[in-house]
Amino acid sequence: MLPFKSVLETMAWSSRTSTSRLVTGWLLRISGLHSWAGSAVYCSIAIDVSSLRSPTRNFIDVDQNSPDWGWLRKTMELQRPVGIFDAGIGSYAIVERVRAAFPAQDIVYFADRASFPYGAKTPQQLLASVQRATAYLQAQGCVAVVLASNAPSVVVLEPLRAAAGVPVIGIFPPVAEAVRRSASGKVAVLGVRSMVGSAAMQAYADVHRGDDEVVLVNASALVDLVENFAFVHRPQETQAAVSGFIAELRAAHPQVDVMTMSSTHLPWLKPFFEAAAPDVQFLDPADGVLQELAPHTSAGGGHTRCVATASAELSLDDFNTALRALGTPLQAELVELAVD
């Protein structure tokens, strides 16, 4: 069996030979180490191929204490990456959307779990938190940053953009689309407390609602079900919580027929929402991000690097366990951000 470094060198050499073959979207299990998921890997070595449920590509999961790790990192240099972050697992859904739309784009995915929850922060605390994360991603060479969270996008995006040295793309509740789809003229925006209780969100809703009524609903408790991975490990408990939440909302606002899942955590709960209210449309706010990001994308190696902060309540091990449960080959590296 070739050592890991030799295998990769063989793969690099093979990419220059006429006998190379293209391996697309496969998980390569080499020398007992896993996994290199290649979106465009040329090789002529023996491989064991298995399917991936995630579109994320080209991430190597290997012991970072290995003697080959420094060499390996050099082979994985990212080319003009874009950064994608929020306060946890929510932004991974955006990573998958970006990867599917731009397969060759290099990505740094940052789960800033030490800052969770955004919904409990004041605007000043929220701005400080996202500025630290954006500065970190800029220092990693990111040419643009996606702030993959509705709350800070609505509340503090403009001062964040003013302070950042790279373009910052936010994500916003799709109020106008909800209004267009509503037959009753009454829609609900589900989000965290700091967003739905803000003057900025009320102003945003007023601009986009036309003559319809927009109800702003605090769904912070449901966001917790995602970040603590109850939706993966305890689905019955999750369904009961979501069903109770929706029943209470509809009792207070029976005419609501469209709801926006306006935290990037909430789309993970879409099957639970639809089971609780099959007659309601639930909208994902991620669709507008891809169009705005497109001018900043480029052809790299299609690599995704995953990093995360942690806290006493939200550990790195739990985060990596959840990533595996979601079927992704990613494994997060622990980083620490200095707090002013």
- pLDDT single digits (tens) 127-174: 999 999 999 999 999 999 999 998 899 899 999 999 999 999 999 999
Confidence (pLDDT) at 241: 97
DSSP helix/strand/coil, 93: helix
pLDDT higher than 50, residue 26: no
Local confidence band at 115 (pLDDT 50, 70, 90 cut-offs): very high
Place of tokens 């082979």: 75
Tally Cβ neighbours within 10 Å of residue 67.
11
With CA atoms as reference, report the closest residue to 289 among 76, 130, 90. Answer: 90
- Percentage of the chain beyond pLDDT 90 is 60
d(CA 38, CA 24): 6
Averaged over 321-325, what is the pLDDT? 88
Confidence (pLDDT) at 119: 79
Give Cβ neighbours of residue 227 (< 8 Å, ≥ 6 apart): 87, 88, 89, 90, 113, 116, 117, 265, 314
Confidence (pLDDT) at 338: 75
- CATH 3.40.50.1860 domain extents, the chain: 82-171+289-334, 175-284
With CA atoms as reference, report the closest residue to 197 among 282, 280, 122. Answer: 122
d(CA 10, CA 253): 63
Is 82-171+289-334 a CATH 3.40.50.1860 domain? yes
pLDDT higher than 50, residue 56: no
Confidence (pLDDT) at 16: 32
Among 32-41, 79-88, 125-134, which is the least confidently predicted range?
32-41
Confidence (pLDDT) at 79: 93
d(CA 37, CA 24): 8
Confidence (pLDDT) at 66: 53
φ, ψ for residue 57, nearest 5 deg? -125, 160
Confidence (pLDDT) at 73: 52
* Partners of 85 in the β-ladder: 110, 147
Confidence (pLDDT) at 264: 86
Confidence (pLDDT) at 105: 97
pLDDT higher than 60, residue 19: no
Among 41-50, 104-113, 256-265, which is the least confidently predicted range?
41-50
Contact indicator for 281, 257 with CB cutoff of 8 Å: yes
**Six-digit token pair at 286?**
């991620």
pLDDT higher than 90, residue 53: no
Start-to-end CA span in the chain (Å): 50
Confidence (pLDDT) at 328: 87
CATH code of the region 175-284: 3.40.50.1860
Place of tokens 């669709």: 287
